[in-house]
Amino acid sequence: MKQKDDEFIDVEKRFRDENGDCLRIQSQYGQVYSSLIKKIKKYAKTENLDALQFEDNLNEAKQVFDDMAYSLKCFWKNPSHDKFWEYPNISSDLDSPERWSGVSPVDPVLLDTATAEYLKRPWMQLNNIDLFILRGFIFNEVAHYADGIKSGAMEGRIDFAYLLSGGKLDKTLIYKLLFAGVKFTIQWILLPVLAAIFYYFGYETITLWILIAYLVTAGIAILFIPKRYFQNREMRDTQNKLNINLGKLLNVHRMCSYNTFNPSQLRSQIADLEQHDLHLPPPVYSILDRAIQRDPYVLLDE
């Protein structure tokens, strides 16, 4: 037994020496790796594994977690070497996501692949890894849902102001004002100005036709006021519904940001999302249901 313990100590020392940068305790990586070493060593002793199997498991776990960490920060513009996740600032990052090059920092395809590999290895299960997976998938859903609202995709339309602004709130407002000004000018000012110019140069017939065209377009615009009113009201109702759904997603995301929460309560909130046709990625359910089996009342970030 003492010989095996010594062999395990040698394996752990070699692993720490080879991955010294990652194992700095002040880094997020170091915190996870230290917990993984303890968990895998305990598993190896319980299952009576030898030192070689212990080392293989350590290296497997590191590869799986490295892939997972990369997927969580895949679209960060300047990712930190010590961190793979930063809690997004909902009020600023969703309105102006300048810290990453995509809609969210997460690559959900890579995270799905890494999560599948993680779930194949129950011996490396850690609460904090579970939480990072949940946070990654859920924030990615929040970010894409919010982006769909702002871009108009959720309503089956295209918001060119949002697309041209790159998702930045201040630029979106500027483009909206610009487009509104151009539309007003074309609809109500352009033709009268043209009519005045042609009249000034003595083209009375052309002036008359321009004025007739102006009166026709103005009349059509006035006749369509009731239709536009109902269309705008329908659009507002749709936007209100979408914003309510976004609020529900944000509540789920907010719960996951705590270091301790009730997984059964979170599962209940997710079930409420499903009643509104909001479905999270399948790995979320797998991770959460497995956590509930361990403890239905407490999920700690440890």
Among 72-81, 197-206, 246-255, the range of highest mean pLDDT: 246-255
- Report which of 58, 52, 48, 65 is spatially closest to residue 15, judged by C-alpha positions: 58
C-alpha 46/C-alpha 49 separation (Å) is 8
More confident residue, 193 or 163: 193
Whether 40 has a pLDDT exceeding 90, the answer reads yes
Whether 237 has a pLDDT exceeding 90, the answer reads no
pLDDT digits (tens, 9 = 90+) for 54-83: 999 999 999 999 999 999 999 988 877 888
pLDDT digits (tens, 9 = 90+) for 176-201: 888 888 888 888 888 888 888 888 88
pLDDT of amino acid 156: 73
Q: Where are the domains of the chain?
A: 1-86, 155-286
DSSP the chain: -HHHHHHHHHHHHHHHHHTTTTT-TTSHHHHHHHHHHHHHHHHHHHTT--HHHHHHHHHHHHHHHHHHHHHHTTTBSS--SS-S-----HHHHTT--TTBSSSSS--HHHHHHHHHHHHT-GGG--HHHHHHHHHHHHHHHHHHHHHHHHHSGGGT---HHHHHHTT-HHHHHHHHHHHHHHHHIIIIIHHHHHHHHHHHTT-HHHHHHHHHHHHHHHHHHHHTHHHHHHHHHHHHHHHHHHHHHHHHHHHHHHHHTSSEE-HHHHHHHHHHHHHTT----HHHHHHHHHHHHH-SS-EE--
User: What's the pTM value of the predicted model, to 2 decimals?
Assistant: 0.82
pLDDT of amino acid 282: 94
